[in-house]
């Protein structure tokens, strides 16, 4: 009975907290912590300090990248690629937004791409819903495939905390093919979705009004005609160099400094520490060579979003650790046997948790430590990495709402019955096929 009441408190904090955004979710988690500690007499869990420090270093570096203009260069190249292949925008747009998120570690880069994708589609008389909805899904699926995302550095940290020393490249060797394949399947399904614009009575009725027609087919601002300073390109190259260094050091631990552990055995330093060092170093190089002011970084969208994710992980992970730690013996006996016999149950739990907290990083902070604690094989955890993206299920996530707003044709929309929205089927296809590919890759790589 006590365990059930505690679960009610945990879920209530998550449901109520998510209504107030990431920071709100973190502080509402504090209410749960107080109840668990002072009312239920649970021993407080331990916040994931190493994970949080890694997240802090990564989002700081990403903030310097955006402030320096390096991100703008990436977006310009992305637009150039899409405009050179306009008739295939339904396939290439989601692959582009997926790749941008892989490079930058945040799905928020998609906001700049939406008006470009819309402009290309409408000028080719392609139903904008086709590329735009799946592009929004793709930008979020890629979070678990980025070496500098909060989600991936969290997984690396949680695995290391349970003495599973998988390299960053091993994690990415599973998550990149898994999420990329899921995005491609969602794009292929979207290629012929909905009516052609010429046959869509609702659309044709809307553009009968000359003012509406001008609104739908009006020009969109482009980056292609803008000359970008050399410092923008320099920042991008420095950032890429940092990612390459992390990948190399993660795959070749002999290159790392070695120090004696508690037993006197020489061991390489942790990759979580390496990621922190390299990200701070990269940020420093951008600061010193790209003519930016450090104080401006705090105002960048990427930095602000990353800090919100950091605070969210802090509160949610601490509260979840406190609750699950108090009942770990029971969970190992019951849940451990269940996920061993039915590993797909973990995918469902991860999917629902992601929707509950509207964050892959926060979902991972809850389900991955729990799964590892009850003895689940890390290979199976990585098999279902795509399932950590479930917040498309209800069309309330900012990127989905922004996508609807940028589609001036009105084809990307929330349906009459809420669940029949434009993102549902591409999202379900992406997650399902991503899990299938992840299962194959995890058993090959790990």
∠ CA 355-359-365, rounded to 5°: 105
Question: How many helices (DSSP H) and strands (DSSP E) are in the chain?
Answer: 21, 2
Q: Which residue has the higher pLDDT, 437 or 4?
A: 437
Residues in the chain: 446
Report the distance separating Cα 430 and Cα 221, nearest Å.
30
Percent of the chain with pLDDT over 70: 98
Whether residue 273 has pLDDT greater than 90:
no
| Cβ within 8 Å of residue 371, ≥6 positions away | 339, 346, 381
133 pLDDT more than 80: yes
What pLDDT band is residue 335 in, cutting at 50, 70 and 90?
Answer: low
What pLDDT score was predicted for residue 369? 87
Query: pLDDT value at position 62?
Result: 84
Pairing mode, strands 266-268 and 258-260: antiparallel
pLDDT tens column, 352-364: 888 877 778 878 8
Q: When comparing pLDDT for 186 and 328, which is higher?
A: 186
Output the CA–CA distances (angstroms, integers) from residue 442 to 148, 151, 164, 285, in the order listed: 20, 17, 14, 35
pLDDT exceeds 90 at position 370:
no
pLDDT at 215 over 80: yes
Q: Which of 14-18, 340-344, 400-404 has the highest mean pLDDT?
A: 400-404
Confidence class of residue 350 from pLDDT cuts 50, 70 and 90?
A: confident
pLDDT higher than threshold 80 for residue 105 = no
pLDDT-above-90 percentage for the chain: 34
The pTM of this model reads 0.80
Express each pLDDT in 161-183 by its tens digit: 888 878 778 899 999 999 999 99
Decide if pLDDT at 131 tops 80: yes
Mean pLDDT, all residues of the chain? 86
Least confident of 123-132, 149-158, 233-242, 436-445: 149-158
- Is the confidence at residue 436, as pLDDT, over 70? yes
Give yes or no for residue 336 having a pLDDT over 70: no
Residue of higher predicted confidence among 205 and 418 = 205
- Residue 316 CB neighbours (<10 A): 29
Q: Is residue 63 predicted with pLDDT exceeding 80?
A: yes
Q: What is the pLDDT of residues 286-326, one digit of tens each?
A: 999 998 999 999 888 778 877 887 887 788 888 888 887 88
- What residues contact residue 230 under an 8 Å CB cut-off, 6+ apart? none
Whether 332 shows a pLDDT value over 90: the answer reads: no
- Return the closest-CA partner of residue 390 out of 18, 17, 73: 18
Q: What is the mean pLDDT of residues 258-275?
A: 82
Rounded to whole angstroms, how far apart are CA atoms 394 and 333? Answer: 34
Query: How many beta carbons lie within 10 A of that of residue 216, not counting itself?
Result: 19
**Residues 93, 135: Cα–Cα separation, whole Å:** 6
Instruction: Spell out the domain ranges in the chain.
Output: 47-445
């Amino acid at each position: 009975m006590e365990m059930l009441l505690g679960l009610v408190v945990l879920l209530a904090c998550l449901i109520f907290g998510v209504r107030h955004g990431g920071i709100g979710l973190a502080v509402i988690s504090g209410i749960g912590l107080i109840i668990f500690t002072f009312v239920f007499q649970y021993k407080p869990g331990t916040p994931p300090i190493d994970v949080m420090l890694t997240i802090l270093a990564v989002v700081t570096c990403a903030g310097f990248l955006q402030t320096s203009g390096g991100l703008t260069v990436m977006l310009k190249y992305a637009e150039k690629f899409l405009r050179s292949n306009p008739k295939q925008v339904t396939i290439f747009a989601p692959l582009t937004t997926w790749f941008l998120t892989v490079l930058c570690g945040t799905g928020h880069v998609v906001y700049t791409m939406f008006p470009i994708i819309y402009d290309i589609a409408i000028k080719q008389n392609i139903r904008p819903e086709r590329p735009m909805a799946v592009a929004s899904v793709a930008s979020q699926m890629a979070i678990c495939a980025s070496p500098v995302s909060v989600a991936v550095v969290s997984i690396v940290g949680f695995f290391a905390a349970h003495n599973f020393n998988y390299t960053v490249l091993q994690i990415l060797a599973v998550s990149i093919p898994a999420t990329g394949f899921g995005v491609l399947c969602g794009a292929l399904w979207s290629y012929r979705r909905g009516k052609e614009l010429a046959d869509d009575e609702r659309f044709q009725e809307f553009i009968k009004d000359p003012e509406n027609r001008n609104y739908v087919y009006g020009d969109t601002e482009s980056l292609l005609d803008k000359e970008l300073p050399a410092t923008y390109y320099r920042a991008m190259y420095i950032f890429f160099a940092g990612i390459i260094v992390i990948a190399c050091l993660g795959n070749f631990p002999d290159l790392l400094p070695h120090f004696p552990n508690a037993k006197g055995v020489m061991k390489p330093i942790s990759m979580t520490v390496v990621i922190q060092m390299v990200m701070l170093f990269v940020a420093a190089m951008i600061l010193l060579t790209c003519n930016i002011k450090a104080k401006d970084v705090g105002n960048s969208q990427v930095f602000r979003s990353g800090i919100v994710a950091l605070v969210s992980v802090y509160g949610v992970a601490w509260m979840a650790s406190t609750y699950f730690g108090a009942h770990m013996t029971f969970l190992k006996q019951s849940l451990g046997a269940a996920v061993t016999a039915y590993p797909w149950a973990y995918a469902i739990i991860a999917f629902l948790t992601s929707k509950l907290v509207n964050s892959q990083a926060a979902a991972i902070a809850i389900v991955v430590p729990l799964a590892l604690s009850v003895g689940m094989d890390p290979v199976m955890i990585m098999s279902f990495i795509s399932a950590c993206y479930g917040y498309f299920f209800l069309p309330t996530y900012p990127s989905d709402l922004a996508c609807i707003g940028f589609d001036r044709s009105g084809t990307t929309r929330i349906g009459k019955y809420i669940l029949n929205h434009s993102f549902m089927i591409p999202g379900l296809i992406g997650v399902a096929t991503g899990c299938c590919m992840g299962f194959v890759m995890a058993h090959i790589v790990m």
